Structure 1
Amino acid sequence: MNLKEFLKKYKHAVTWLYFAIYLPWFVYLEKHVVKSYHVIHMDIDDKIPFNEVFIIPYMLWFAYVAVTFLYFFFYDMRSYRKMCLFLFSGMTIFLIISTVYPNGHLLRPTTFEHNNIFTKMVSALYKADTPTNLFPSIHVYNSIGTHLAIVKSDKLKEKKGLCFASFILMTLIIMSTVMLKQHSVFDVITAFIMAGVAYTLVYRNELILSDSKENEYQRTLS
């Protein structure tokens, strides 16, 4: 299948153009919000211990979101559109907040108690990702959105084992954001609030294509 045939069959690939907006904007913020920013902190942040093992679920986030996104892209048009609407709306709000209210934290440890493969991975993460542009946490928000896409999908919601595994992974990813000192609890709370609003709009009020149009387009994929 060449590119033209691919685009004809998968017209909804146009949604990928969103990343042409998101990625340059995010990279710009990462490069420019490095010194002058509002410090995000809650007292509970100081009580949460650092645990380098949580780098595993933290990094699994990338596969968790990407694999689910691509599965729905190819096999479940309705769930794909809902997932895009949920994720992209939150990611855009995150960019706007980071632009008008530059923010960061001072939670990262300067030294590690242990010297192992996990701390080496955390160190590499710290070098690649600045402790800025934090809330709402996109790691948390997109994990919630991915889990909701799975449990709300007509194709997947009856697969109880998969839904349970998704819930466990989502929970571990959310925990990892604070256990690795990547985020403040404030970032997690605001991500949950934003996810609650997005859930109401996307899954409760059905801001999506009408079933008739959607079913007609779905038939073109088969």
Structure 2
Amino acid sequence: MKVTLKDFLYRYRHGWILSYLLIYLAWFAYLEQTVTRRFHVIHMPIDDYIPFIEVFVVPYLLWFGYVALAIAYFFFQDVQDYYKLCIFLFVGMTVFLVASTVYPHGHYLRPRVFERDNIFVTLVKGLYMVDTPTNLFPSIHVYNSIGVHLSIMHSEKLKEKKWIRRISFVLMMSIIASTMFLKQHSVFDVITGCIMAIVMYTLVYGGELLAGRKRVYRRYPEING
């Protein structure tokens, strides 16, 4: 059966929402170029006790594939879950952009010298060159990682794929830890990222939780008392 371009575009018309990434990237690039010296310093005392561990650059970089793969999977496999994931991610990313615009901020947590010289340190140096220590909270690395894991946990298609859920959980936790061990983010950024994820979770998946309770009550009416 011959599939025309028109048929293809109609079938995957839900891809329109990804155009938001053009807005996000342009806005983020603007912030990276303008918020460089004059900004509010983000710092918590606990930040000073967290060591720099360069090997965490691996999960930090895996974040890009983690998010992209999740979006691609739901794009082709489950449109409803795809929209939920995109709404979760893009609303939080917009909040981050607004926060960085109205309250320019950054930190001075990065090490000035590196005690070791290895492939991981080389990757960190490259990361530091392309990513400024500004525009930090809520941490999008943290927020999006939680969002992806939640989408996997709520997916009916992945319900029986326990190994995928476990790998996702480990990767999510590793990415969250990496933001602090690489001195990319303050603990404050991580906390605000988690708080925003909790809020969005109730907004995006709250209906599913309520529907789940109703199903339980119908099956076990004695729970209602």
Q: C-alpha separation between the residues in 2 aligned to 1:88 and 1:98? A: 15
| Cα shift at 1:5 | 3.4
| Cα shift at 1:3 | 4.8
Q: How does 1:1-222 map to 2 (within 5 A)?
A: 3-205=5-207
**Change over 3 Å in CA distance of 1:7–1:39 after alignment to 2:** same
What do the CA deviations read for 1:140-160 (whole angstroms, capped 9, x no partner)? 000000000101001012211
| Cα shift at 1:7 | 1.6
Q: C-alpha separation between the residues in 2 aligned to 1:98 and 1:29? A: 7
Normalization by structure 2: what TM-score?
0.89
Q: C-alpha separation between the residues in 2 aligned to 1:3 and 1:61? A: 32
Q: C-alpha separation between the residues in 2 aligned to 1:72 and 1:159? A: 15
Whichever residue aligns with residue 87 of structure 1, its letter is L
In structure 1, the gaps of 5 or more residues are 207-222
Whichever residue aligns with residue 74 of structure 1, its letter is F
Q: C-alpha separation between the residues in 1 aligned to 2:47 and 2:132? A: 18
Whichever residue aligns with residue 192 of structure 2, its letter is T
Q: C-alpha separation between the residues in 1 aligned to 2:132 and 2:116? A: 22
Structure possessing the higher radius of gyration over alpha carbons: 2
Name the count of aligned residue pairs.
206
**Change over 3 Å in CA distance of 1:67–1:2 after alignment to 2:** farther
- Range 59-68 or range 197-206, more displaced: 197-206
What do the CA deviations read for 1:16-69 (whole angstroms, capped 9, x no partner)? 111121110000000000011000000000000000000000000001000111
Q: C-alpha separation between the residues in 2 aligned to 1:45 and 1:21? A: 32
**Change over 3 Å in CA distance of 1:22–1:173 after alignment to 2:** same
Q: C-alpha separation between the residues in 2 aligned to 1:193 and 1:75? A: 29
Structure 1 stretches of at least 4 aligned residues deviating more than 3 Å after TM superposition: 1-5
* 3-state SS of paired residue (1:107): coil
Q: C-alpha separation between the residues in 1 aligned to 2:4 and 2:18? A: 18
Q: C-alpha separation between the residues in 2 aligned to 1:39 and 1:6? A: 49
Q: C-alpha separation between the residues in 2 aligned to 1:99 and 1:205? A: 32
- Range 18-27 or range 175-184, more displaced: 18-27
Q: C-alpha separation between the residues in 1 aligned to 2:53 and 2:77? A: 38
Q: C-alpha separation between the residues in 1 aligned to 2:181 and 2:37? A: 24
What do the CA deviations read for 1:154-181 (whole angstroms, capped 9, x no partner)? 1012211110110000000000000000
Q: What is the identity percentage for the equivalent residue pairs of Structure 1 and Structure 2?
A: 62
Whichever residue aligns with residue 84 of structure 2, its letter is K
In structure 2, the gaps of 5 or more residues are 209-225
RMSD: 1.0
Q: C-alpha separation between the residues in 1 aligned to 2:7 and 2:151? A: 27
Whichever residue aligns with residue 68 of structure 1, its letter is A
* 3-state SS of paired residue (1:119): helix
